[in-house]
Structure formats: structure tokens, C-alpha cells
């Protein structure tokens, strides 16, 4: 049941502001957490969720604002300071000592002692008692690494209880769990809540958020969008707060989604039942020549996981893939490139742009990879390709010798697009190509995608900005909680309808 908000909050964060070089990560955010509640923190990538959690747990210092815990103003210089204040965190990647025993992990640093040192028998007995209170019956002397992620998370929670945590932060705790394990974890969470522990829950799984939450706070672009009782916030309203609205310059772009596509022939891509256990339930996808297929859903819905399986960046465990009617085992990105598939990752810094290479070197990298290291691109040909794409995509400054790391985010994205277009692909997969760039660069990239598809290029387009998907795509695949729940013609959708579909559609009856 919801917490009693008439009592003082156990955590009261007001006006929290954090700046990084060139980025305002949090802009005067307020956040309250009451004893005996599960409070979910929601927002898309870059919304500020992780930054707020790290401010609360002592990882990041704050530039402005105040953190009050149990009525006392706190300045956290480290995670140890936060733990001393009664705040414990269980991360998606469990931060324990996998080579030690279960009992050692539970009691680490708090073992009972005698005059001769640690009383191991008493330590394991106390560890077993803490685990039993969470419904977990395991041998405390067994090595932690031999247990499942679900068990390891409960061990981490038991450790938090040893520390007498008043606040438990659960950061994506269900991302690697199956449904039964999630239900078991939720049972533990409810029990802790009923004992008065304040629980901050972060998840991208919409259904789970509504199942477990008493209240929900929504962030977008480092700002507070709202704080609500879960029962007072319809799913569609939550999604709208998370994704926001497009700006006028983008909405002024004419829609291309109603362009007719001939879907009677052989598709460029046909994927049937492609999936991977614990990552993505089996999905069917088709993309025809000249078609833009949008993939819509909240972060964590399985969008990126799907295209990584299609491209061979991750190995599918089920399903079949055909490229222009030819069966293909997509075992690696190199094979995908040889079959005419280009993939621009959502993480352009880690998996895209090579900051220490020039613009020219970044653009020609894809062509060189297809040709192999022994067949160097002739200098005149490379220069011609680079100049053409810099001009076509409006890369600024138009200097091919400039280091790519010195470009703005929008221009880095244009360089990545140029790299893959230079390979003359049959299918271009774009994962969040306009995330984190200015409105002008967004408009340039959207126009180019529309132009290329009209010329016959097949495109798979992922974006968190649903208006962008509806503007560009002829069809929209809707994902939620790692499964496909719909395959819709965009001409039959508007923004409100797509938001409602993402939030409320029962996948069992999906198209």
C-alpha cells in the first residue's frame, strides 16, 4: 500500500543540479522518498536517472541543491558516506565478490568476531538468517559465482539489510531475470516495503513499474516532469511525459510515411522468429525496397536487442534470416556488411565514431572494411567520396582533415551516416540516429533518410521520439518488455494512438 506522505520523507532532495563539461545533467531536480514505499524513477536515456541516483549514493557531488536524509542535511563525499546514512544500492550488474562464498558476501565487513578473529560459524549463521528473511535457502558456504543472477541479487539485498539500510536503491534489478524470478524478487520488495524500507526502483519495463510502484517520478533531459501516485498516472500520460514533444522545426517537416510501398515481391530482409533467450522473445520482421520500418517502444523494450541480432552483432539463438530471398546465418557484423546491411549503433562514441581519426578516415572506414586491408582505397577515389558526403550531409566544419572527436554530436552523427551510405547498402539500420543532437542536425538527418528511402534504400529506423518514427516510417513495429506487440501501418496511427498502443496494448492480441 502507498506510503504515508504525512510523515517526513526519509530522503528529500531539492534543487539538485549537476554539471558536466558542456552538459547540464540535472537542472534543479526535486525528489522525495518516503519510508515504506516503492518509488519508481522513470525516463529515457539521458533523462538524468543515473545521475540522480549517483548523487543520492555519493558517487557524484552536487553543484547545487540539498540532500536531506532522515531530517539531516548531508554532503556525500563517497559511497561510504551514503551507506553510513543508511542508503544501499543493488545495481543491474551485481557488485559483489563472485569468488567469495555467499555468506562472506552477505556479512563482508560486519562479521562477528571473537578474541581470535572472525567467528565464521556465527557469521554464516547470521548470513543464513538474513537470507531466510528474504525467502532464500542456500548453502552460505557455496561460492557466489555458482548461483544465478537472481540469487546474487537477493544476496546483495541481504547485505543491504545487514547494513541496516533505510533506503534501498534497485537499479534495473529485473533486466536479467525470467518471469518467475521477477515475481520472487517483487515478493521480497513488497515484504521490505511493508517493514518500512524506502525503495527506489528503476526499470524500463512498463508493466513491472505499474505492478510494483506506489509512486512514480518522471525525468526528461535532466528536468523533473512530474511526481505522481502510480494509480493517478495513466500509462499513456507516463509515456508522453517521458518522450516529450517535437519542436516546431521538426514538426514542420512534411510527412513521408504515407508513401506507397510495393510489398508484393521479395523483401530486402525477412526475419522469422529471431530471438535470444533472456534477451528477446522471437520476432518477425520484413523490410521491402524503399521502405522505412520504424521500431517504437520505450528504452528496454527490445528495440536495440532486435537490430543487433539482425546485424549479427549478437548471435540469435532462434529464427531464420533471408536477405533478398537468400537464407543467411547472420553470425557476425562482417557477414552482415558483405550481405549489404549497414548498422549505425545508438552509442556513437563507443561503437561508432573513432575520435582520434579524421573525418575522412571515419567516412571511408566502412568501405575499407568491406574491401579488406589488402585492397586500399585509391586516394583520389577516397577524396571524392569524402567530399561528396560532407557536402550531401552538410557536415560542419567541412574539413575532412579535422579530428572527428572535435565535431559536435550532430556532425559526428552525420559522419557516421556518411560512413555507412558510402558502402552502398541494401538495408540501412539506424539506432537512435538523432539522439542528443540539435534540432537543425535532426532535421538534416530526417530529410536525408526520407530522400534515400524514396530512392529505393530499405531502412530500419529506431527512435525514442515517436513523432520522428511516425513521420518517416511506412510501418511501425511496436516493442514492449522484450517482445513485439504490434506491426502497424503508420498511416493508421497518430501520436496519441501510438502512445496508447505502447502503454496499453495486450501483446496476446497484437497484429
- Looking at residue 428, what is its pLDDT? 95
Last residue of a domain, one of 424, 459, 479: 424
Contact present, 229 and 237 (Cβ < 8 Å): no
Q: Could you tell me the three cell numbers for 149? A: 543472477
Question: What does the alpha-carbon distance between residue 187 and residue 462 come to, in Å, rounded to a whole number?
Answer: 35
Q: Could you tell me the three cell numbers for 101? A: 562464498
Beta strands in 262-306 (DSSP E): 269-276, 280-287, 292-296
Beta strands in 333-471 (DSSP E): 341-344, 427-431, 458-462
Write the CA distances from 195 to 37, 38, 39, 160, 229, integer angstroms: 10, 12, 15, 14, 20
- Residue for cell digits 542528443? 436
Range of the domain at 477: 248-340+426-509
- Looking at residue 189, what is its pLDDT? 92
Strand partners, 23: 20
Last residue of a domain, one of 387, 405, 424: 424
- Looking at residue 3, what is its pLDDT? 60
- Looking at residue 473, what is its pLDDT? 94
Number of domains in the chain: 3
CB count in 10 Å sphere of residue 276: 19
Residues 6+ apart with CB under 8 A from 380: none
Whether 6 is in a domain gets the answer: no
Q: Could you tell me the three cell numbers for 141? A: 558456504
- Looking at residue 130, what is its pLDDT? 86
Question: What does the alpha-carbon distance between residue 19 and residue 27 come to, in Å, rounded to a whole number?
Answer: 8
- Looking at residue 376, what is its pLDDT? 85
Question: What does the alpha-carbon distance between residue 41 and residue 345 come to, in Å, rounded to a whole number?
Answer: 26
Whether 380 is in a domain gets the answer: yes
Whether 59 is in a domain gets the answer: yes
What angle separates helix 379-393 from helix 409-421, to the nearest 10 degrees? Answer: 130
Both 26 and 95 in one domain: the answer is yes
Both 406 and 461 in one domain: the answer is no
Both 239 and 273 in one domain: the answer is no
> CA 329: distance to chain centroid?
27
Both 201 and 321 in one domain: the answer is no
- Looking at residue 443, what is its pLDDT? 77
Beta strands in 58-148 (DSSP E): 64-69, 72-74, 87-90, 113-114, 117-118
- Looking at residue 255, what is its pLDDT? 63
Q: What stretch of H or E contains 415?
A: helix 409-421
The string of pLDDT tens digits covering residues 302-331 is: 999 999 999 999 999 999 999 999 999 999
Question: What does the alpha-carbon distance between residue 228 and residue 40 come to, in Å, rounded to a whole number?
Answer: 10
Question: What does the alpha-carbon distance between residue 318 and residue 280 come to, in Å, rounded to a whole number?
Answer: 10
Both 400 and 448 in one domain: the answer is no
Contact present, 159 and 2 (Cβ < 8 Å): no
The string of pLDDT tens digits covering residues 459-511 is: 999 988 888 899 899 999 999 999 999 999 998 888 889 999 998 886 444 44
Q: Quick one: DSSP state of residue 351? A: H
User: By three-state DSSP, how is residue 168 classified?
Assistant: strand
- Looking at residue 250, what is its pLDDT? 55
Question: What does the alpha-carbon distance between residue 417 and residue 352 come to, in Å, rounded to a whole number?
Answer: 10
Both 170 and 156 in one domain: the answer is yes
Write the CA distances from 447 to 188, 394, 471, integer angstroms: 50, 12, 10
The greatest distance separating any two alpha carbons of the chain, rounded to the nearest whole angstrom, comes to: 82
Write the CA distances from 5 to 34, 35, 37, 229, 324, integer angstroms: 7, 9, 10, 11, 60
Both 212 and 256 in one domain: the answer is no
- Looking at residue 509, what is its pLDDT? 45
Low-confidence stretches of the chain (pLDDT < 50) are 1, 246-247, 507-511
Task: Supply the Cα-derived Rg of the chain in whole angstroms.
Answer: 25
Last residue of a domain, one of 188, 209, 243: 243
CB count in 10 Å sphere of residue 258: 9
Contact present, 119 and 112 (Cβ < 8 Å): yes
Question: What does the alpha-carbon distance between residue 154 and residue 18 come to, in Å, rounded to a whole number?
Answer: 32
Q: How many CA atoms lie within 13 A of 504 on its CB side?
A: 12
User: By three-state DSSP, how is residue 279 classified?
Assistant: coil
Q: Could you tell me the three cell numbers for 313? A: 552483432
Whether 1 is in a domain gets the answer: no
| Length of the chain counted residue by residue | 511
Both 230 and 294 in one domain: the answer is no
Whether 348 is in a domain gets the answer: no
Amino acid at each position: 500500500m502507498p506510503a504515508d506522505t504525512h510523515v517526513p520523507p526519509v530522503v528529500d532532495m531539492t534543487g539538485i543540479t549537476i554539471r558536466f563539461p558542456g552538459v547540464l545533467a540535472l537542472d534543479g531536480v526535486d525528489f522525495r522518498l518516503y519510508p515504506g514505499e516503492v518509488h519508481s524513477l522513470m525516463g529515457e536515456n539521458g533523462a538524468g536517472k543515473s545521475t540522480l541516483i549517483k548523487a543520492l549514493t555519493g558517487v557524484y557531488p552536487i553543484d547545487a541543491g540539498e540532500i536531506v536524509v532522515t531530517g539531516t542535511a548531508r554532503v556525500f563525499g563517497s559511497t561510504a558516506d551514503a551507506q553510513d546514512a543508511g542508503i544501499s544500492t543493488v545495481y543491474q550488474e551485481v557488485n559483489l565478490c563472485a569468488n567469495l562464498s555467499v555468506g562472506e558476501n552477505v556479512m563482508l565487513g560486519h562479521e562477528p568476531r571473537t578474541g581470535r578473529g572472525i567467528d565464521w560459524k556465527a557469521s554464516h549463521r547470521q548470513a543464513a538468517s538474513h537470507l531466510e528473511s528474504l525467502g532464500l535457502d542456500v548453502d552460505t558456504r557455496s561460492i557466489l559465482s555458482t548461483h544465478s543472477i537472481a540469487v546474487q541479487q537477493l544476496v546483495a539485498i541481504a547485505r543491504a539489510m545487514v547494513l541496516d539500510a533505510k533506503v534501498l536503491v534497485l537499479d534495473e534489478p529485473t533486466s536479467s531475470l525470467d518471469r518467475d524470478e521477477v515475481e520472487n524478487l517483487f515478493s521480497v520488495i513488497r515484504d521490505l516495503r511493508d517493514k518500512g524500507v524506502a525503495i527506489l526502483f528503476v526499470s524500463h519495463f512498463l508493466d513491472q513499474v505499474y505492478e510494483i510502484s506506489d509512486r512514480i517520478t518522471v525525468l526528461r533531459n535532466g528536468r523533473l516532469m512530474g511526481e505522481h501516485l502510480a494509480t493517478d498516472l495513466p500509462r499513456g500520460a507516463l509515456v508522453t511525459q517521458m518522450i516529450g514533444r517535437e519542436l516546431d522545426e521538426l514538426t514542420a517537416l512534411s510527412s513521408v510515411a504515407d508513401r506507397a510501398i510495393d510489398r508484393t515481391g521479395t523483401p530486402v530482409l525477412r526475419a522469422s522468429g529471431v530471438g535470444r533467450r533472456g534477451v528477446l522473445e522471437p520476432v518477425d520482421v520484413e523490410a521491402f525496397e524503399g521502405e522505412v520500418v520504424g521500431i517504437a517502444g520505450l528504452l528496454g523494450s527490445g528495440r536495440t536487442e532486435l537490430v543487433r541480432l539482425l546485424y549479427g552483432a549478437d548471435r540469435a539463438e532462434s529464427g531464420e534470416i533471408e536477405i533478398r530471398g537468400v537464407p543467411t546465418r547472420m553470425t557476425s557484423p562482417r557477414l552482415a556488411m558483405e550481405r549489404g546491411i549497414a548498422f549505425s549503433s545508438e552509442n556513437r562514441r563507443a561503437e561508432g565514431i573513432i575520435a582520434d581519426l579524421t573525418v575522412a578516415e571515419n567516412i571511408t572506414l566502412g568501405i575499407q572494411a568491406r574491401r579488406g586491408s589488402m585492397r586500399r582505397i585509391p586516394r583520389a577515389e577516397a577524396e571524392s567520396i569524402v567530399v561528396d558526403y560532407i557536402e550531401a550531409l552538410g557536415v560542419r566544419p567541412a574539413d575532412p582533415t579535422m579530428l572527428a572527436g572535435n565535431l559536435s554530436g550532430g556532425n559526428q552523427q552525420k559522419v557516421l551516416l556518411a560512413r555507412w551510405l558510402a558502402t552502398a547498402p541494401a538495408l540501412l539500420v539506424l539506432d537512435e540516429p538523432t539522439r542528443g543532437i540539435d534540432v537543425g542536425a535532426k532535421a538534416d538527418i530526417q530529410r536525408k533518410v526520407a530522400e534515400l528511402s524514396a530512392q529505393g534504400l530499405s531502412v530500419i529506423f529506431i527512435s525514442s521520439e515517436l513523432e520522428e518514427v511516425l513521420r518517416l516510417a511506412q510501418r511501425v513495429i511496436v516493442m514492449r518488455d522484450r517482445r513485439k506487440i504490434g506491426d502497424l501501418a503508420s498511416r493508421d496511427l497518430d501520436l496519441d494512438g501510438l502512445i496508447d498502443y505502447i502503454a496499453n496494448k495486450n501483446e496476446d492480441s497484437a497484429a
